[in-house]
Amino acid sequence: MSDKPLVAVIDWATSPLSEAGPTIEQEVVGDAAEVRRYVCASDADFPEAVTEARALIVWHNTPITAVGLGRLRRCRALIRNGVGFDSVDLTAARQRGIAVCNVPDYGTEEVADHALALTLALCRQLFPLDREAKQLGWAIRPEVEGRLRRLRELTFGIVGLGRIGTAAALRAKAFGFQVWFHDPYLPNGVEKALALNRARTLDDLLRRVDVLTLHCPLNQETRHLLGARELSLLKPTAFVVNTARGAIIDKAAILAALREGRLAGAGLDVVEDEPLQSAADAATPNLIVTCHAAFCSREAKREMRQISARIARGAVRGEPLENVVNGVSPLSPGPAPG
């Protein structure tokens, strides 16, 4: 180890996404610190070197608990290499003066594009038609034909009009959808600025829409936001799209609705307790599933890593931090050196 401060990149052992040599991060951090990558299943696997790091960049799904945070002796910032931060104990980090940051904007275009791709695949029944053609048939079967829809006559409903939700709304408008949204945290007038329609309650939105797409974070308020009751409010001809977090939808409830024909289809980039756990789940009718890949493009991945590294560099230098999500002042002293 060098005498420079350490920035530790924590990659998830179950599904590593980084590279052995974190060259992009080191390019951004420069001479301010040494950047090293560690592959861990959880914070219980942190080697001693990580406990001395000034900043941690944490890839997806690696759980960071109060116990793990308690082992960090010099850390000023923990940067979630992505939008979501539900894998980090925010309260414990705040109590230790560790700023938790995220990268909320790196995959905005990709996730919005993916949500619309799933929507189009459902509304135009691309996968059933593809299967028919590849079986050397050429019939539009009645059950498929009944799900083919004209987009400009459909209502596209959005839960959560943040960066990605807004990007999805603009794309849906370009395709001719009638766009509605529900977001209780936005001020009055947002709908006028964007020429959208606003539903004041989730129930009102659910009753209106032909396509429902989710763009909200996962927290105590939104866990199982769509359960059996909420799904029952949707039209049986409606489609549900989720590119946010899997547990926003009760997996058992939505799979039951699809199997029983109470929902026309679903396009899920994320599922509760991902990946799918059984062949029966995978065989659910009218279900499209992608591998938590909505965020992914080579451009987005590089941008995400550059932004995370920029925040880590700021932490090492004692500079104001971007995208703090747990209320820790960017200039607070943080944990005392051990």
Catalytic residue among 171, 208, 292, 313: 292
Domain ranges within the chain, ordered by starting residue: 6-106+298-317, 108-289
Q: For 206-223, what is each residue's pLDDT tens digit? A: 999 999 999 999 999 999
Cβ atoms within 10 Å, residue 168: 29
Q: Tell me the sheet residues that pair with 159.
A: 182, 214
Q: Is the pLDDT of residue 331 over 90?
A: no
Top pLDDT among 18 and 8 is at 8
Q: What is the mean pLDDT of residues 265-290?
A: 97
**In the chain, how long is the greatest CA-to-CA distance?**
70
Our answer to whether residue 110 is catalytic in this structure is no
Q: Is the pLDDT of residue 330 over 70?
A: no
Q: Give the pLDDT of residue 14.
A: 84
CB 242 within 8 A of CB 249: yes
Our answer to whether residue 292 is catalytic in this structure is yes
One fold for 6-106+298-317 and 108-289: yes
CB 167 within 8 A of CB 152: no
Our answer to whether residue 147 is catalytic in this structure is no
Q: What is the mean pLDDT of residues 130-142?
A: 95
What is the amino acid identity at position 60? H
Nearest to 164 by CA among 251, 245, 271: 245
Query: Does CATH place domain 6-106+298-317 in 3.30.70.260?
Result: no
Q: For 48-58, what is each residue's pLDDT tens digit? A: 999 999 999 99
Q: Give the pLDDT of residue 324.
A: 97
For residue 30, give every residue at least 6 positions away whose Cβ sits within 8 Å of its Cβ, in sequence order, or none. 313
Local confidence band at 2 (pLDDT 50, 70, 90 cut-offs): low
SS3 128: helix
Q: Is the pLDDT of residue 301 over 80?
A: yes
Nearest to 167 by CA among 239, 115, 222: 115
Q: Looking at the domain that runs over 108-289, which CATH code has it been given? A: 3.40.50.720
Mean pLDDT of the chain: 94
Catalytic residue among 245, 272, 305, 322: 245
- Secondary structure letter of residue 201 according to DSSP: S
Q: Is the pLDDT of residue 337 over 50?
A: no
Catalytic residue among 274, 303, 317, 319: 274
